[in-house]
Structure 1
Amino acid sequence: MQELYEAPLAPLTTLRLGGPADRLRTATTDEEVVAAVREADDAGEPLLVIGGGSNLVIADKGFRGTALRVATTGFRLDGAQLELAAGENWSAVVERTVQAGLAGVECLAGIPGSAGATPIQNVGAYGQEVASTLTEVVAYDRRLRRTVTVPRDECGFAYRHSRFKADPDRFVVLRVRFALDDAGGLSGPVRYAETARALGVRPGERVPLAEARETVLKLRAGKGMVLDPEDHDTWSAGSFFTNPLLTEAEHAAFLARVAERLGPDVAPPAYAAGEGRTKTSAAWLIDRAGFTKGYGDGPARISGKHTLALTNRGSASTEDLLTLAREVREGVRHAFGVTLVNEPVTVGCAL
């Protein structure tokens, strides 16, 4: 297992931010992952598990402890059943499933990060989410000190949430299993209105798999959501804030604030989210609160392509980014009475 001391962590994140770790270990097998976790736990040492680094905001002071980079590989198809090692690159996984003619994750194309991170956030985009096709998660349980298999129904999936996210110090994901769909080379039903418009079909229709993936990649690239080392608009953690889920009372108060601020004829986005809740758009809130694309004049700014992405323009610090995030959060709360929640995990820092 590779081991480095005072190792920079910024290059391991899509934001390119954060100070060094006391020690960085890179594991290439499940056995190495488990051994490194056990060693840290036995020593009472803080542990930071890193996959693709696409959902991490690491403090400028770095991480005082061991950072464990999961670099395991493994892609196994048995019919439409897929098993992935946690370290597999997710975007490459989607491409391979499309090439194999299997539907279920094609609209998750271009999402950066590793396969092992997808169940933690219940990654989703353009009408699909991991919870729809995932069947099992194999993880090391730090509480029980053994490897366990967690079936889908016990993963606690919700909007950008899971039991793994709720209890981040307990599980280290090793493998993820999916049941995909052999639809004769066609995608799953197109559920997202923007995707359907771009494809020229009605919601619910199917299209060739490759066409669905390529369309999603174009949509994501237009929003700066496909990694490009030469484009600072992609030096981000993707969507920095989740879409708010409002109770009936909160939604009524929100609509009153919108009418007061923008006029009675303005209708903000609203989607039924179950249990008497309504989901609205974080991007809409940010934009209407005055934080438009490209906002900011420092080294951390809102993306010029998408208001949900906070970007490092090349020389930002983590504190620069957090200062901007706080400004946006407070501005939205002042304008509409809604408090945005950050999607990326903060390490050694907080909003």
Structure 2
Amino acid sequence: MQTLADLTTLRLGGPAARLVDAPDAETVVEEVRKADGAGEPVLLLGGGSNLVVADEGFPGSVVRVASAGIVTDRRPDGSVLLTVEAGENWDDVVAATVADGLGGLECLSGIPGRTGATPVQNVGAYGVEIAALLESVDLYDRATGQIRTVQAAELGLGYRTSVLKGTDTAVVLRVRLALPGGGASMPIAYAELARTLGVDPGATAPCADVREAVLELRRGKGMVLDHADHDTWSAGSFFTNPVVDAAPDPDMPRWPVGDRVKLPAAWLIQHSGFAPGHPGPGGRVALSSRHVLALTNRGDGRTEDLLVLARRVRDGVSARFGIALHPEPVLVGCSL
């Protein structure tokens, strides 16, 4: 049986009872229908970058989504509609748009995984979320057995969430993104990125320059995949930034979110006594040496080791600040 550790960026997870490759959307639907008809659990797998799979593995069918295809349509208003199959590597999509002189996606450079996952958790980075550009998705509805197009406004897109997250009732087959049509980036909203580019917050820059700056920043935090670098053996940021009614400390950094505030999880973790490189059981897992939000496999870790470390961090922040941290990755067969 195929070990899911070979198929996830954490390099963790036990065997799959059954693994099938789906090279197109039709095969994805066919395999999911087949498993549903047999009463088997199904796990949709893309790049494996947002998964924590139990050491025991997965007892059903793992459908690896490998559908490919990008269609670019210029519209009368000058904007561009990008239709992308769910199995396309996300960073390849970003790179292709930038190479074509199309701005919009550049701040989302370097994010691992497949395109179909981007609307599920409303992927975001450096001040831009997929919600700002998403027009619609095609879904396979497992309850009705139908394929339907759903507009972005119907997906309940919020901070790292959507109505698709935490449920397996629908499968994303393709996404449609509306890009402005020019070569300028989205307005630079993230202060660190603005400093790197030498521009004022709110300004734009050539999309190619922004992509390179984002990749440079991500590499510095161990957030660009590198097989030789254990700091990148992670699921990205493990905890989301909590959104609360009020900050418990008046000196704590925060960002307004409506009438609430968002707190930086990394700041909370570090100020709860967890430094970069903080080890988990036996040193087999650890916080990244460069980015405390990433929990990393140091080469011989197990999923249970990672969960022990995640619980320590979560409980430490709760004890220090009374704030609950919640995991960003999908936990398969395991829990905190």
Structure-2-length-normalised TM-score: 0.96
Equivalent residue number for residue 83 of structure 2: 83
Pick from 4, 13, 28: which aligns with 1:9?
4
Q: State the distance in 2 between where 1:137 and 1:130 align.
A: 12
Runs of 4+ in 1 over 3 A off after TM superposition: none
Provide the residue aligned with 2:257 in structure 1. Answer: 273
* Rounded Cα–Cα distance in structure 1 between residues aligned with 2:223 and 2:143: 36
Counterpart of 1:176 in structure 2: which amino acid?
A: V
Secondary structure in structure 1 of the residue aligned to 2:213: helix
Does structure 1 conserve the Cα–Cα contact (< 8 Å) formed by 2:104 and 2:207?
A: no
Q: Which blocks of at least 5 consecutive residues in structure 1 are unaligned? A: 1-5, 256-265
Alignment of 1:1-351 (within 5 A): 6-79=1-74, 80-166=80-166, 168-183=167-182, 185-248=183-246, 251=247, 254-255=248-249, 267-274=251-258, 276-296=259-279, 298-351=283-336
Name the SS of the counterpart of 1:237 in structure 2: strand
CA contact (8 A) 2:81 2:178 kept: yes
1:329 match: secondary structure = helix
Q: Measure how far apart 1:144 and its partner are.
A: 1.3
2:106 maps to a residue whose letter is: E
| Worse overlay, 111-120 or 296-305 | 296-305
Q: Indicate the SS of the match to 1:26.
A: strand
Give the C-alpha shift of residue 181 in structure 1: 1.3
Deviation at 1:175? 0.3
TM-superposed CA distance for 1:101, in Å, is: 1.1
C-alpha displacement at 1:344, in angstroms? 0.4
**Which sits farther off after the overlay, 296-305 or 215-224?**
296-305
The offset of 1:295, in angstroms, is: 0.6
- The structural deviation recorded for 1:268 is 1.1
CA distance in 1, matches of 2:244, 2:18: 42
Percent of aligned pairs sharing the same letter: 56
SS in structure 2 of the partner of residue 342 of structure 1 = coil
Deviation at 1:160, TM superposition (A): 0.2
Q: Could you tell me how far 1:277 is from its partner in structure 2?
A: 1.3
Aligned residues: 329
Once the two structures are TM-superposed, the CA of residue 269 in structure 1 deviates from its matched residue by 1.2
How far residue 171 of structure 1 moved from its aligned partner, in angstroms, is: 0.7
Structure 2: gaps (5+ residues): 75-79
Q: Is the 8 A contact 2:46 2:114 kept in 1?
A: yes
CA contact (8 A) 2:139 2:170 kept: yes
CA distance in 1, matches of 2:253, 2:171: 36
CA distance in 2, matches of 1:179, 1:70: 23
C-alpha displacement of 1:286: 0.3
Shift of residue 227, structure 1, vs aligned partner: 0.3
Partner secondary structure for residue 7 of structure 1: coil
Code of the residue aligned with 1:241 in structure 2: it is F
Amino acid at match of 2:261: T
Taking the aligned partners of 1:169 and 1:107, their CA distance within structure 2 comes to: 28
